[in-house]
Amino acid sequence: MLVAAPALAGQREDFRPPGQSRRDRDRVVTSTIPRPSHSTTTVTTTPPVRDVDLVCMQKAVEKRETAIIAAFDKFAVAKKQTLEKRKIALLDAWKIVNRQERRVALRTAWQNYRKESQTAREAFHKARREAWAQFKNERKACGKNAHADEPANEGDDAQI
């Protein structure tokens, strides 16, 4: 590609971009553009063979999602109760005048909170895994390619 540059004192008039030789600058590039053919081809499309029972998949997804929502609702209630218990235990601990007894009560309140929170979280994850396992089993009955349309995105629910 030849680029025109203003002739300044000390510059060459045959300006070339870096890496381009004089021979490349003078080369003419030609190309041919393919023309469409005038022959006609008839293409018939047939509807794809449906090897997935859509109603079956809808029922399986409905059941899975309902189970996960119910498990989350149960988890939320358990977590709220755990927080309320922690609040009461911490307030009671701060009523204790003796420092050593207060520290024991505070430590116990936090330990109980962690244990109850973990129990609630584990129950939720167990219910979530069971819902996905049931879905995968039910999905098999919906057709041989049912798994290809919706790959198991179980990992996304693990982030809840």
- Residue 88 CB partners (closer than 8 Å, separation 6+): none
Tell me the pTM: 0.62
Q: Are 14 and 25 in contact (CB under 8 A)?
A: yes
d(CA 31, CA 100): 90
The string of pLDDT tens digits covering residues 26-55 is: 555 555 566 655 655 555 565 555 688 889
Dihedral sign, Cα of residue 139, residue 143, residue 147, residue 149: negative
Where residue 101 falls among pLDDT bands split at 50, 70, 90?
very high
Cα–Cα distance for residue pair 37/26, rounded to 1 Å: 35
Q: Tell me the pLDDT tens digit for each residue of 126-143.
A: 999 999 999 989 988 888
